[in-house]
Structure 1
Amino acid sequence: MDIGSISFISFLMCSVLSSFNSNCRTLASEQATCLGFDECFCTNEGVFACYRDELSGIPSTLPPNTTTVKLKYQNISKIYKADFVDSGYEGLLVLMIQNSKLRDIENGSFASLTSLIEFNLDGNELTSLDATNFHNLFNLKLLSLTSNAVEIIENGTFENLTKLVSLDLSRNKISTLYTGIFSGLVNLIFLSLKENEIYFIDRKTFQVVQNLRTLNLSFNRIRELDNFTFVGLDNLRYLSISDNVIDYVGDDTFQSLSNLSSLSLAQNRLTHLTFSITNDLRNLETLQLNDNQLTSIHNLSILPFLKKLDVSNNIQLSLPFCSLGELPILQSLFMSNTNVTFTLRLFIGTGCRDINIVPPLQHLYIQHSNTKRIDLDLTKALPYLQNLSFGDLDIEIENGSLSVLDNLKVLSLHNLPSSFYRLKFSNSLPSKMTTIVFYGLDNFPVEFLSHAGGERLLRLVIRNSNFEYLPANAFANLSSLENVEIHNGSLLSIDKDALNGLGNLTKLEMTRNRLSTLPEGLFQSTPYLGVLNIHENPWSCDCNLKWLIAYIELITIDNLTECVSPTEMSGKVISLLSESDFQCNDVSFSARLTSSSVTKVVTRIMPSTPMFPTNESTEETTNRTYTRFSTANYATQSTDATDKATAILTASTSAAVSTEDEQKSPDNSQLNLTFIFLGMSGIIVLILLISLGIVGYKYYQLSKKTRSTSQSCADTFSNASFNTREIDDTELYDNVNAKTEETSDPYIYNIPNQHCDVPRRYSLTAPRLKHHNNVPPTVREVRLQTFKSTSNDPNMESEGFSEKIYENQVFRKETSLC
């Protein structure tokens, strides 16, 4: 294909993409500038990028007006000083050399890049840093060196970087931090040293970075924090020292952190913790002490503005009476897996100060604590509660104690005794409750949900259950449900009518169970179902599951769902298969029968007079037994033992069931004609499939040659780097933590989607879209981040574009991802 054809195709592709972004420009004039590199592209916006293993050195020249260079997955082992001299790099603002096997940098190599603002060397093999590496980079603001092998950072390395605001050294091999290592970083705001091997921090190491707001020291080998570790960090807001081996914290360690709002000491080896009255932590809002070995915590009263306290998974921890009564604005309390007894005596009562109150708790997690009773007096004192999680085998719940929680939205019940689900509540569940989560169920609680007011629920989650069968009409009176999840359970089979009544269901997840097949017609009552996640089940991809292929053309199914049997189908992704791949043996078939299919078989072969006596209850039990067979081989066999019985249904249990009066065999000539007709039809279909395959292959070859053209246009829509954080559960309607990319605008969120290799659709057809999972109530715009993989390497990053799917309280009904 000549250059003119490539340019014309580039113009057409850009015209299509312009429907997503009005800034897309024709590439016809600029494509020739990058034709020297097969896997590189450039744009009119000044971006030059190469994402394949093609370069062994820095390109000697750049297109005019280039301001951004992105080199990923190259083979650039060394950078020389001459690489950036008089070669078009003098106006460079952004330089990224990532995952390119870089091991050595010649002294002064970047000295000519005086305009550089962002510098990224992630994923290389650098072992040391010195001052010559960053000499003359006076305007640099963002520097990232994550995932290298840096062990040594010489004093003065960052001396010239006076404008640097962000430094990321995570995932290296740094073991010690000495005084002077960060000298020169007078404007530094963000510093990450997580996932290193740090075991020693010199006194006053951080004194020179007085403007620091965020410090991350998690996942290291730090053993102790003395009173001088954080001296000078008066402006620090966020401090994480989680996932270390800390067993000692000085009484005055945090004395200079007067502006600290979030402190994490989670997953260490602390046994006691005392907040000295000399510590000025009056602005602390979040304190995470979970997963330690704590037995006691003292002086929490010096934290008057604390909003979130997590002490979970400290199994020997006890808290004295009145200890939480001086935290007047506490909103979230996590006390699961502790020895704490949650009662009103933790806040108020005899011996408490007059200023003690019960704080306005909104989120309370007390499952598997020493709490033995939930009574009406306790719940009446928690009128603002929105999320409640409790449970244990020996807990008592006073009748009606839940119904008074008028603002409760999410209720999680953990391993409650079976007797709880048989309670006849005098009052229904709270009227605003939208989500209920069950852990450790032995039976599906149909009656409980019906009697307790489950008809208002939007989301039902079941985890770690023990029941094997989902019966017909399991979700009776739950017509408002939009999301059903059954994870990590023992579910073996599902009745064809199990989902009856779920007319508003939009998402169904049944992952990590023991399902091998699904009955045809299961989704006949779920017209709005758009997402089906069923991976990590032992799926049997035979003819009994063939119907699913046609159905998943209409919805989104995860591309992790694989066949386990038969042997020739093992490991194949179901969403990539066709109906012809699902076959059964002509004589016998292996299946997990549903109640409806068993009924049809038994009706055809059951004699009018049974071979052994039965009654109504026996027949019901027999039918149910067949419904729950999981690995049985059934076959019909003729017999003339009696004029009443003509066939026997045999199973792996060797149980025999009588059959009906022998029916007349169909005429053999009619059968032959039928088989001939089916055979000819199959040949015609095969010819059509081969023709389509040839056309698809030609289209693939054409698209492959123009991929660099479309990639440049796609890069136009790719967002700049984001600051990633985990959304706190208080921001979500359904209390589900989610990884989300946060843009510079706090009211715009990007939902990342990394599975674009297989064409599929993302359905957003829920009738009550305001409860959609990853949309906090304050967000006014959501963008779906779509990625196109550029390599078979699963670790390779991807480029793509974002598409607005939510704005001003309105979702687009359906969004095409690929």
Structure 2
Amino acid sequence: MLTTNYFTFCVFCCLLYILLFVPISYPAGVPVWKCDHSLNRSLCLLFAQDMALLIVVLMCVVCVVSGRDQCPRNCYCGELGPHGVICTGGITDIPKNVPADTVYLVVEYTNISVIPTGVFNNLHKLTGLLLDGNQLTSIESGAFDGLTNMSLLSLSSNPGLSLTKVDPSILKDIKNLTSFLAKENKLGIIPTNFFAENKMLREVYLKSAGLTKLQTASFSNLKNLVIVDVSKNEIDNIGANIFTGSLKIQTLNLSNSQIKSIEPRAFETQEEMRFLMLDHNMLVSVRSALLGLRNLLTLALNDNEIVSLNKDDFKELVMLNSLDLSNNELQNTGDALANLQSLGSLTLNNNRLTKLSFKGMPLLTDISVSNNLLQSIPERLDVITHARILDISNNPIQSLPGGQFASLKSLLKLDISNISAIQDGGLAPDALTGLHSLVELRVERNELSKVPSLALSAVKQIEILSLSHNKIQTLDENDFVSVSNISNLQLANNMLAKVPEKALRPFTNLTQLDLSGNPLVHISGWSFGNSTTLSSLRLSNAKLSVIDPAAFHGLKGVHSIDVTNNNLTWLPGDLLKYDRAFPFYLYADQGNPWYCDCQMKPFSQAVNVPGQSVITNIHCSGPEKFKGQNLGDIPLANLTCDCEHQEAPSVDTSGSDNKTTVGHTAKLKCKVSGCPTAHLFWTTPRGFVISPHLTKYTGYDVQDDGTLVIMAAVAEDAGNYTCTAANYLGKAEQSHKLKLDIIET
């Protein structure tokens, strides 16, 4: 590439061209080559000689300037500022003509394998050198000699680079080095005193560097060292004198390094350390390893194999604010946590704890003990009066008596999902008493058959409620009256067969509603009423086959609806027929067998209008000629059906059984006519909505011809059954009453 001065040289060349080939005039205006024998001839020749001399001088000057600043081949000068150079590409050697005033040099992603001695000798102003992503296998002795001003050296992403082939004194001349990076290499073992001459060093990043051992004094006596990252290596053991004399280390990352043991007092001199990451290793204990860390704020010990804790393991961590012990093998914490007077965040997820006490931890705010074996609520809840988050989910807690959380008056989030006590007896009416600040409540996976409305009346102020993954079959109009301020309601993966509009009426601030994973075959008109505040509606992974034209009318504030992974083949044209002031996203493409025929024509016509605000992307599953095509790319005239006469469906239930006996079978007929073919479903007296091949309820079956078979009828099966059929032209339904005779024994 050309530098600015080399460009200047080209401009001068053009000027010289003009001077040489355009006639030069002397003062009288007579061209040089027309000098005659007049008295002015001497003056004319003298002028020509002067001009020639001027041209020669200018050429020399320009050549000197342009030659001095020419950028090396395969390099870019000025990209990192006026004194920055980037070299890349297929080069195999460090360029030799890098400008001497270069301050920042990047040589990356080349075929260079060796850094020879003295290759940077003329770059005395260099402060940053990045040699990342090359093919380095060797760095010769003296390669960095003379770089006394350099503060940053990066050797990252050179997978063939091993320190066994590198002179241990290669950094001795870089007295001002503050940052050293050699991530993603195969360094092996760092030589003792490798950084001995780099007294200004502040940061060392050796993540995934292929380290197999940290030797004694590997990082010792580096009095300005602040950050050390040696994560994702294979270190095995942390010795006692590795960091001796490096008194200012604040962050030490040893995670993911297969560490099995830490020698006692390994960090004893690191009183300034704030963050210590020992997660994702193979530690079975931390006996005496943490002594001396009096100012440590964050300790990560998660994802190890720690079985037990000694009462003195954390005794000197008087400033510790965050402790993560999740994903270990702990059965009991004993008194090990009782000394942590400053602890604010405690994570003990995925252990084998059978009991837990918060004694001695008065400043706890975030507590998570999910996925343990707790038989009862943790002890001494009265101590953690500042608690903001409490997660005790996924524990076999046998009792959840009323008023248990009454002391947690500052609690903002409570997760009591998958609790044995709730599964056995539901959520007691006074279970949430005293939680006057609660904002988020999660009661998931508890096999609830109905909304625990009485218990919710104690937390009227909540804004987020999740009752997902339960067995709730119906919603009553009074279920949410006491919690009308909810903005996010999650009812995913329950057994709701329909959306009773009355149940949503109490909400005044509802913005997010998740009904995904429910057996919702049909969404009727105005199912969500005038929920004008709703902005996001999830109906994915349900059983939807029919959505009425007015299903979403009234949702004038909604900007996204998700109906992915259902059984939808068509959508009505009027589905989104109301004004919007912003783009509306309909997530529908994935997991639906869209059939691009006449039934999709009104919808395609409605949404594929220039300037419209509906954004969707639907690909056809059929017919074969349109398979895989985007609906919007198919001309409307080509969206046709084979029907000679298109018509809305009609339904006939004649021939159905009028009565049966408890324990016996009944068959209810449903004959559907109309074209194109309509979707059919039955609604039972028990509230089930059953569609062929979509929904399964014990004791019921819908045959291919639409016949509903009730097997071994029970008393609740008596009543009105409704057969409904719908295509894009309309919907028809007919009811049939079934009586049951009870045989007395």
TM-score by structure 1 length?
Answer: 0.61
Q: Deviations over 1:572-603 (max 9, x none)?
A: 8x9xx7954899999879xxxxxxxxxxx797
Q: What is the rounded CA distance, in whole Å, between the counterparts of 2:393 and 2:379 in structure 1?
A: 19
Q: 1:324 aligns with which of 374, 381, 385?
A: 381
Letter of the aligned partner of 1:325 in structure 2?
Answer: D
Paired residues of 1:143 and 1:166 also in contact (CA < 8 A): yes
Q: Deviations over 1:71-123 (max 9, x none)?
A: 55555555455354433534444444443435135323344433333333223
Q: 1:229 aligns with which of 281, 285, 289?
A: 289
Q: 1:261 aligns with which of 274, 299, 321?
A: 321
Paired residues of 1:264 and 1:287 also in contact (CA < 8 A): yes
Structure 2 residue 291 is the aligned partner of structure 1 residue 238: no
Q: Deviations over 1:216-253 (max 9, x none)?
A: 11111112222x02111111101111112221222221
Q: What is the rounded CA distance, in whole Å, between the counterparts of 1:71 and 1:491 in structure 2?
A: 58
Q: What is the rounded CA distance, in whole Å, between the counterparts of 1:603 and 1:617 in structure 2?
A: 22
Residue number in structure 1 paired with 2:275 = 214
Letter of the aligned partner of 1:280 in structure 2?
Answer: N
Letter of the aligned partner of 2:472 in structure 1?
Answer: S
Q: 1:274 aligns with which of 325, 328, 334?
A: 334
For structure 1, which segment, 364-373 or 237-246, has the greater mean C-alpha deviation from structure 2 after superposition? 364-373
How far 1:69 moved relative to its partner?
A: 4.7
How far 1:375 moved relative to its partner?
A: 4.5
Paired residues of 2:86 and 2:107 also in contact (CA < 8 A): yes
Q: What is the rounded CA distance, in whole Å, between the counterparts of 1:102 and 1:509 in structure 2?
A: 49
Q: Map of 1:482-561 to 2, 5 A cutoff? A: 482-486=535-539, 489=542, 494-509=547-562, 522-525=575-578, 527=580, 528-529=582-583, 537=591, 550=608
How far 1:604 moved relative to its partner?
A: 2.1
Paired residues of 2:560 and 2:584 also in contact (CA < 8 A): yes
How far 1:347 moved relative to its partner?
A: 5.5
Q: What is the rounded CA distance, in whole Å, between the counterparts of 1:564 and 1:608 in structure 2?
A: 27
Paired residues of 1:308 and 1:333 also in contact (CA < 8 A): yes
Letter of the aligned partner of 1:180 in structure 2?
Answer: N
Residue number in structure 2 paired with 1:698 = none
Q: Map of 1:600-639 to 2, 5 A cutoff? A: 604-605=646-647, 623-625=678-680
Pair 1:253–1:101, CA change in 2 (3 A)? same
Q: Map of 1:68-467 to 2, 5 A cutoff? A: 68-69=104-105, 73-77=109-113, 79-80=115-116, 82-87=118-123, 88-89=125-126, 90=147, 91-105=149-163, 106-107=166-167, 108-131=169-192, 133-159=194-220, 161-226=222-287, 228-276=288-336, 279-298=338-357, 300-314=358-372, 316-319=373-376, 323-340=380-397, 341-344=399-402, 346=404, 357-369=407-419, 370-371=421-422, 372-391=425-444, 392-394=446-448, 399-418=453-472, 421-422=475-476, 424-425=478-479, 428-443=481-496, 446-447=499-500, 450-451=503-504, 453-467=506-520
Residue number in structure 1 paired with 2:32 = none
Residue number in structure 1 paired with 2:28 = none
Q: What is the rounded CA distance, in whole Å, between the counterparts of 1:265 and 1:236 in structure 2?
A: 16
Provide the alpha-carbon RMSD of the alignment. 4.9
Give secondary structure in 1 for the equivalent of 2:228: strand
Pair 1:655–1:620, CA change in 2 (3 A)? closer
Paired residues of 2:355 and 2:376 also in contact (CA < 8 A): yes
Give secondary structure in 2 for the equivalent of 1:82: coil
Pair 1:243–1:306, CA change in 2 (3 A)? same
How far 1:150 moved relative to its partner?
A: 1.6
Pair 1:255–1:515, CA change in 2 (3 A)? farther
Give secondary structure in 1 for the equivalent of 2:299: strand
How far 1:540 moved relative to its partner?
A: 5.5
- Larger relative contact order (C-alpha < 8 A, sep ≥ 6)? 1
Paired residues of 1:95 and 1:116 also in contact (CA < 8 A): yes
Paired residues of 2:355 and 2:378 also in contact (CA < 8 A): no
Pair 1:451–1:612, CA change in 2 (3 A)? closer
How far 1:160 moved relative to its partner?
A: 5.4
Residue number in structure 2 paired with 1:692 = none
How far 1:508 moved relative to its partner?
A: 4.0
Q: What is the rounded CA distance, in whole Å, between the counterparts of 2:270 and 2:570 in structure 1?
A: 60
How far 1:480 moved relative to its partner?
A: 0.7
Percent same amino acid at aligned positions? 21
Structure 2 residue 74 is the aligned partner of structure 1 residue 37: yes
Q: What is the rounded CA distance, in whole Å, between the counterparts of 1:151 and 1:556 in structure 2?
A: 57
For structure 1, which segment, 363-372 or 96-105, has the greater mean C-alpha deviation from structure 2 after superposition? 96-105
Residue number in structure 1 paired with 2:143 = none
Pair 1:629–1:153, CA change in 2 (3 A)? same
Paired residues of 2:441 and 2:466 also in contact (CA < 8 A): yes
Paired residues of 1:72 and 1:100 also in contact (CA < 8 A): no
TM-score by structure 2 length?
Answer: 0.66
Q: What is the rounded CA distance, in whole Å, between the counterparts of 1:181 and 1:318 in structure 2?
A: 43
Residue number in structure 2 paired with 1:663 = none
How far 1:167 moved relative to its partner?
A: 1.5
Pair 1:331–1:39, CA change in 2 (3 A)? same
How far 1:407 moved relative to its partner?
A: 2.8
Q: What is the rounded CA distance, in whole Å, between the counterparts of 1:449 and 1:578 in structure 2?
A: 36
Give secondary structure in 2 for the equivalent of 1:309: strand
Paired residues of 2:188 and 2:212 also in contact (CA < 8 A): yes
Q: 2:533 aligns with which of 477, 480, 486?
A: 480
Give secondary structure in 1 for the equivalent of 2:465: strand
Higher Rg: 2
Q: What is the rounded CA distance, in whole Å, between the counterparts of 2:640 and 2:359 in structure 1?
A: 76
Higher helix share: 1
Letter of the aligned partner of 1:205 in structure 2?
Answer: A
Pair 1:522–1:100, CA change in 2 (3 A)? farther
Pair 1:587–1:306, CA change in 2 (3 A)? closer
How far 1:181 moved relative to its partner?
A: 2.0
Pair 1:36–1:613, CA change in 2 (3 A)? farther
How far 1:125 moved relative to its partner?
A: 3.2
How far 1:476 moved relative to its partner?
A: 2.4
Paired residues of 1:475 and 1:499 also in contact (CA < 8 A): yes
Q: What is the rounded CA distance, in whole Å, between the counterparts of 1:83 and 1:548 in structure 2?
A: 69
Q: What is the rounded CA distance, in whole Å, between the counterparts of 2:153 and 2:609 in structure 1?
A: 47
Paired residues of 1:101 and 1:125 also in contact (CA < 8 A): yes
Q: What is the rounded CA distance, in whole Å, between the counterparts of 2:402 and 2:649 in structure 1?
A: 67
Paired residues of 1:237 and 1:259 also in contact (CA < 8 A): yes
- Report how many residues are paired: 586
Q: What is the rounded CA distance, in whole Å, between the counterparts of 2:464 and 2:7 in structure 1?
A: 56
For structure 1, which segment, 317-326 or 200-209, has the greater mean C-alpha deviation from structure 2 after superposition? 317-326
Paired residues of 1:58 and 1:79 also in contact (CA < 8 A): yes
Q: What is the rounded CA distance, in whole Å, between the counterparts of 1:608 and 1:255 in structure 2?
A: 78
Pair 1:321–1:191, CA change in 2 (3 A)? closer
Instruction: Name structure 2 gaps, 5 residues minimum.
Output: 9-65, 127-146, 657-667, 683-689, 695-702, 708-723, 726-745
How far 1:434 moved relative to its partner?
A: 1.2
How far 1:518 moved relative to its partner?
A: 5.8
Q: What is the rounded CA distance, in whole Å, between the counterparts of 1:609 and 1:504 in structure 2?
A: 36
Pair 1:317–1:608, CA change in 2 (3 A)? closer
How far 1:611 moved relative to its partner?
A: 13
Paired residues of 1:121 and 1:145 also in contact (CA < 8 A): yes
Give secondary structure in 1 for the equivalent of 2:252: strand
